[in-house]
Amino acid sequence: MCENHYTIIDLGSNSFHMLTVQKTDNGFSVFSKKKQKVRLAAGLDKQQNLTSDTMENGWSCLQEFRDELNKLQPCKILVTATAALRMAKNKQIFIDQAQTILQLPIKLISGIEEAKTIYRGVAFTDKISEQLLVIDIGGASTELIIGKGNKVLLAQSLNMGCVTWLNKYFADQKLDHDNFNNAVNMAKTVIAPQIKNYTEQGWTLTMGASGTIQAVQEINNKQQISKQLTLDLLNQIKQMCINCKDISSLDIDGLKPSRVPVFASGLAILIALFESLNITSLKRSKGALREGLISILFADN
């Protein structure tokens, strides 16, 4: 057993992740990481049950993770599941078999717990002194957190994500103004009840911790469009998507192929957040849920 190796497994709504880190005096260094696009949220049928194919894909991924754990032998392991499994009516069938494969318990965390852990990950890695608004757009939920230092002041988990919004507003695979407008407007409807509390709490810096935000940054870095991540930049990238006409033809310089299926839907949610909360610019954070989970493992040691 490696005494200073810690592993977290995150059963996300879009991807499953396994991150193993080595504890250091200044925090941690990444020892190994694995990621697989399982897309649990896309595998929910109309009755909100995970399909058998989706569950089999998830279990197959977890068997690979178990094989890797046998080699790594970390001293502590934490396994969590998030929004898609919160939503799935047949979640227990999936979880029971997953626990058998991993030979480990799986903790299904609530939306608020997920939001607080995401903030913890940002605080752990970025160490910002200002009052922060942190945004994380996941596969089936979007977390909004205001905090300062290590303290969470306000946290919400909203029932919208890049996979669920893909299925609802880009199901025909078309990238046009109508689909974007419908996706943005419905996201604004979901955000609307939170605006007053978040505005009153206030923040001076907005940080983002999701694949959508990383993808926007990578496009901007490649194309050198803007000095900051702003609403104008998001709208320019939205127009690039519309110019491609459909998801199968989506080809934007700087956008990774693995992100293509859920990029437009995540972008629509991000635009809605900027417009609803009057965000002027956003900075990408180094940490999020997985780093928050690592910090919990360290604290429990």
Q: Are 161 and 148 in contact (CB under 8 A)?
A: no
The backbone region for 271, taken as left when phi is positive above 0, alpha when psi lies in -120 to 50, beta otherwise, is alpha
DSSP single-letter state for residue 227: S
Give the pLDDT of residue 1.
67
Burial of 236 from C-beta contacts in 10 A (0-12 / 13-18 / 19+):
middle
DSSP single-letter state for residue 82: -
Give the pLDDT of residue 284.
95
Q: Are 286 and 295 in contact (CB under 8 A)?
A: no
pLDDT digits (tens, 9 = 90+) for 243-252: 999 999 999 9
Backbone φ, ψ for residue 51 (5° rounding): -70, 160
Quickly name the fold that domain 129-284 has.
Nucleotidyltransferase; domain 5 (3.30.420)
CA dihedral in degrees (233, 237, 240, 241; nearest 10)? -160
Q: Read out DSSP for 135-192?
A: EEE-SS-EEEEEEETTEEEEEEEES--HHHHHHHHSTT-B-SHHHHHHHHHHHHHHHG
**Do 2-108 and 129-284 share a fold?**
yes
CA distance 40 to 44: 7
Backbone φ, ψ for residue 189 (5° rounding): -65, -40
Q: Are 174 and 158 in contact (CB under 8 A)?
A: no
CATH of 2-108, one of 3.40.640.10, 1.20.200.10, 3.30.420.40, 3.30.360.10: 3.30.420.40
CA distance 289 to 16: 12
Q: Are 179 and 169 in contact (CB under 8 A)?
A: yes
Give the pLDDT of residue 4.
87
The single-letter code of the amino acid at 12 is: G
Domain boundaries, the chain: 2-108, 129-284
pLDDT digits (tens, 9 = 90+) for 250-292: 999 999 999 999 999 999 999 999 999 999 999 999 899 999 9
Q: Read out DSSP for 11-75?
A: E-SS-EEEEEEEEETTEEEEEEEEEE---TGGGB-TTS-B-HHHHHHHHHHHHHHHHHHHHH-EE
pTM: 0.93
CB atoms within 10 A of CB 189: 12
Q: Which segments in the chain show pLDDT lower than 70?
A: 1, 301
